[in-house]
Amino acid sequence: MQTKENKEASAGGYVICVQGPVVDVKFPDSKGVPKIFEMVTLEAVDGRNVILEVAEHLSGNIARCIAMNSTFNIQRNTPAQALGAPISIPIGDGLYTRIINTMGEPIDQKGDIVFTERRPIRRPVLGTKISFANKDISSPELIETGIKIMDLLFPVFKGCKTGILGGAALGKSILTLEVIHHIVKKHHGTCVFTGAGERIREGNELYYELVKHDILSKMMMVFGQMDEPPGARFGVVMTGITMAESIQRQNKDVLLFVDNIYRFVQAGAEISTLLGRVPSETGYQPTLLAQVSEFHERIRSSQESGGSVTSFEAVYVPADDLTDPAVVAIFSFLDNMLVLSRERIQLGLYPAIDPLLSSSSNLDPGLIGERHFEVAQEVVRIFQKYEELRRIVLVVGVDELSMADRAIFERARKLQNFLTQPFFVAEAYTGKKGEFVTREQTIEGCERIISGRIDYKPEEELYMIGVLP
String of DSSP letters for 210-227: HHHTT-GGGEEEEEEETT
pLDDT tens digits along 210-243? 999 899 999 999 999 999 999 999 999 999 999 9
Task: Identify whether the C-beta of residue 51 lies closer than 8 Å to the C-beta of residue 68.
Answer: yes
pLDDT at 2: 45
370-462 topology per CATH:
1.10.1140
Other C-beta atoms lying within 10 Å of the C-beta of residue 288: 21
Distance of CA 450 to the CA centre of its chain: 34
* Torsion over CA: 171, 173, 176, 181 (sign): negative
Architecture of domain 89-124+141-361: 3-Layer(aba) Sandwich (3.40)
pLDDT at 24: 97
Q: Which of 98, 119, 148, 172 is catalytic?
A: 172
Other C-beta atoms lying within 10 Å of the C-beta of residue 365: 13
Multiple choice CATH, 4-86, 2.130.10.10, 2.40.50.140, 2.40.10.170, 3.20.20.540 = 2.40.10.170
| Residue 377 backbone zone (phi > 0: left; psi -120 to 50: alpha; other: beta) | alpha
Q: Which of 110, 199, 381, 433 is catalytic?
A: 199
Residue ranges per structural domain of the chain: 4-86, 89-124+141-361, 370-462
DSSP letter assigned to residue 93: G
pLDDT at 188: 87
Residue 49 DSSP SS3 = strand
User: Can you state the angle between helices 403-418 and 370-396, rounded to 10 degrees?
Assistant: 120
To the query of whether residue 198 is one of the catalytic residues in this protein, the response is yes
Task: Identify whether the C-beta of residue 146 lies closer than 8 Å to the C-beta of residue 182.
Answer: yes
Strand partners, 81: 12, 41
Report the first-to-last Cα separation within the chain, whole angstroms.
58
pLDDT tens digits along 372-415? 999 999 999 999 999 999 989 988 888 888 999 999 999 999 99
To the query of whether residue 199 is one of the catalytic residues in this protein, the response is yes
Task: Identify whether the C-beta of residue 154 lies closer than 8 Å to the C-beta of residue 336.
Answer: yes
Residue 303 pLDDT > 70: no
Give the mean model confidence (pLDDT) for residues 250-267. 93
pLDDT tens digits along 411-438? 999 999 999 999 999 998 888 999 999 9
Burial degree of 469 (CB within 10 A; 0-12, 13-18, 19+): exposed
Q: Which of 38, 144, 178, 198 is catalytic?
A: 198
Residue 304 pLDDT > 70: no
Same fold, 89-124+141-361 and 370-462: no
Count, residues in the chain: 469
Instruction: Please report, for residues 130, 183, 270, 369, the alpha-carbon distance to residue 187 in angstroms, rounded to integers and kept in the order given.
Output: 31, 5, 39, 22
Task: Identify whether the C-beta of residue 269 lies closer than 8 Å to the C-beta of residue 285.
Answer: yes
